[in-house]
Amino acid sequence: MVVTSALAAGSILYLQARFNASDERNALVVVQQYRARSGRSLPEVIAEASAGNKPEWSTATESACFQHERVRAQVTTDAGVVSYDFVVDINGPSIHPGNDNGKRALEALGP
């Protein structure tokens, strides 16, 4: 019975990790491929704001229950490292700012 319980727990943890990884990949795609009505994308806005420096993208699960993922674009500039955070609701899908830089990037997309 102990072995069966351990196998069941291991299976659940494995499946949850796979779901989280899938949500993180999808959130990154949502942020990188979204185009506003103005035709601009977040990678373009970030590149403009950072003098063309390429960001390092990363993702993390914010809430597995609600399928909220944090997507971060970190850009190394002469002034230091600048982070743009976005919180993606996979169910929407919708993109929300995760910090002030993320808010400014979303606002720069235009109407």
d(CA 54, CA 47): 7
Report whether 19 contacts 33 (CB < 8 A). Answer: no
- For residue 62, what are its two tokens? 């914010």
The model's pLDDT over 26-58, given as tens digits with 9 standing for 90+, comes to: 999 999 999 999 899 999 999 998 887 889 999
Instruction: Annotate 6-39 with b (16+ C-beta within 10 A) or e (fewer).
Output: eeeeeeeeeeeeeebeebbebbbebbeebeeeee
Domain count, the chain: 1
The pLDDT of residue 94 is: 93
What is the model's pTM? 0.84
Beta-bridge partners for 56: 74
The boundaries of the domain holding residue 6 are: 2-108
Name the residue with higher pLDDT: 69 or 77. 69
